[in-house]
Amino acid sequence: MQTASNKRESFGEIINGNTPVLVDFFAEWCGPCKLMKPVLEELHSKMGNKVRILKIDIDKSPAAANALHIQSVPTLMLFQKGKPVWRKSGVLQAIQLQKIIEQQITSN
């Protein structure tokens, strides 16, 4: 799992890659956001390098949050080759996320 503070690649470079990217827009003060951390860790352990998981703190990266019209946290977005293909606000379980990602990978 990566955070946006990882400056080796820009956000644009990451989402434009060949690997689907699940972005978790969160905030430190958000209780439900804290529930997503173990879910994303479980998802990462199940899916490995089939998907990249990126966490973006909306308070530290307000430009990204504004550009993508993030109005509540947590908001999860799945990008494939630079395009948003799925979006959902709220807490989801790892198995739900895995199914959604696998469906998007096979349909695109």
Catalytic residue from among 4, 30, 64, 91? 30
Catalytic residue from among 33, 65, 68, 70? 33
Q: Is 33 a catalytic residue?
A: yes
What DSSP string runs through the chain? Answer: -EETT-TTS-HHHHHTSSS-EEEEEE-TT-HHHHHHHHHHHHHHHHHGGGSEEEEEETTT-HHHHHHTT--SSSEEEEEETTEEEEEEES---HHHHHHHHHHHHHH-
Q: Is 82 a catalytic residue?
A: no
Q: Which residues are catalytic?
A: 30, 33
